[in-house]
Amino acid sequence: MLSIEDYEDQFLAPYALKNKENEGRIYSEEEDPYRTNFQRDRDRIIHSKAFRRLGYKTQVFVNTEGDNYRTRLTHSLEVSQLSRSIASVLRLNKDFSETIALAHDLGHTPFGHAGQDILHNLMQHHGGFEHNKQSLRIVTLLEERYPYWKGLNLTKATLKSLMKYGEIYEDDLHLYELSKQKKEEFPPLECVLVDQCDRIAYIHHDIEDGIDSGYIELDQVLELEYWKNLYKKAEQEWKDHFSKARTPHKIRMLIRISLNLFIKDFIENSKKNLEQLELTSIQDVYKLNKETNPLKNSMEFQEITFVVYEFLKQNLYQHPEVLAMSRRGERIIQFLFEEYRTYPEMMPKHIQERIKDYGLHRTVADYISGMTDRYAFKKYKQLLDI
């Protein structure tokens, strides 16, 4: 039976991040005899409360708007699936890729990006708020599962991969050295892969959810040259099976074709780039930069991504009904923030105890950002009735 090291040396590319390169944990632990360190990181994330709460946090549509729309949880699962599949083909570390994908949105607030923006404004004189930085607080401080330390005690490699550009809150001094290292290194390719899969996932599933909601019409989407060509391709391939299908079924068939094209292009373009770079170790990866990043779609598909995103921005993200949902979420978060800042005794006892370590404003931001859409609305209604 192959050891973990022998298996990775035999099956992973020399530039993949290996288990032995995980950099250890902040608090020392014995190795698990049956799981790699990244598999343990993944499992700890899956079992965390923050991960479960993503099931009731907004992706585009507030959770109460319908049962079929994506949530932060289902989005994370789709990113994870894409990342793991592509990592396997490119001989990258699929366990590490999956871990990053599952954790990448842990720090999101209720009510989506609108929630993040209003919380950042409320915290502008107290260190601000940003969901990537918040993800790090969750996995290093706020999750409570172990008797010996705060957080999940993930590997340092995973923690660095959750840092966007190495940024942390200025008061999170326990992450300072890792942040400093991150700023000096290009991220592992698994981290780059997840970032690319995140974008591929949302430009596809947001099109589907937008049409399902009725906020976008299929005819609008078909005004884009790329989707018009996909529609013709589907008609040729599936004939009556496509032309007689209901609109929701048609869009799912189109999404399937498009995802396959995006993934095929990404893999082939990345393979070509990797061959040209001739990377021989993870140390070579750390020396890369944005311009030499090998993992990306071809220019043709990058342009399609930009066009589709701009279409979603104009027709879905800025749709009056979506903006109304966002504004409602902003008002709820602003109200809760002011109430808890003024009357911190209304927060649970274990949350109040954090004030002495993290300060009042950061504690309130931690508490509110961890809420689901429905819990935030519930607390809002309760406090209004006082």
> Which structure tokens are listed for 85?
């599949």
Average pLDDT over residues 245-274: 96
Helices (H) and strands (E) in the chain, counts: 21, 0
Quick check: 64 pLDDT over 70? no
pLDDT at 317: 95
pLDDT at 58: 87
pLDDT at 63: 66
Taking Cα atoms as reference points, which of 382, 386, 372 lies closest to residue 52? 372
pLDDT band at 381 (very low <50, low <70, confident <90, very high): very high
| Weakest mean pLDDT among 35-49, 65-79, 213-227, 318-332 | 65-79
C-alpha to C-alpha distances, 322 to 83, 120, 313, nearest whole angstrom: 29, 20, 11
Quick check: 372 pLDDT over 80? yes
Average pLDDT over residues 267-294: 97
What's the number of domains the chain is made of?
1
Q: Coil, strand, or helix at residue 348? A: coil
126 contact partners, CB below 8 Å, separation of at least 6:
359, 361, 362, 365
Measured distance CA(21)–CA(13) in Å, rounded: 14
| Weakest mean pLDDT among 61-65, 97-101, 251-255, 310-314 | 61-65
Tell me which amino acid residue 254 is. L
Q: Coil, strand, or helix at residue 71? A: strand
pLDDT at 2: 76
CATH of the domain at 304: 1.10.3210.10
Segment 74-133, tens digit of pLDDT: 999 999 999 999 999 999 999 999 999 999 999 999 999 999 999 999 999 999 999 999
> Which structure tokens are listed for 353?
């105890």
Average pLDDT over residues 269-295: 97
Supply the range of the domain harboring residue 305.
1-386
Please, are residues 375 and 328 in contact by the beta-carbon 8 Å criterion?
no
pLDDT at 4: 85
Tell me which amino acid residue 57 is. K
Q: Coil, strand, or helix at residue 343? A: coil
Segment 294-343, tens digit of pLDDT: 999 999 999 999 999 999 999 999 999 999 999 999 999 999 999 999 99
Segment 131-173, tens digit of pLDDT: 999 999 999 999 999 999 999 999 999 999 999 989 999 999 9
pLDDT band at 60 (very low <50, low <70, confident <90, very high): confident
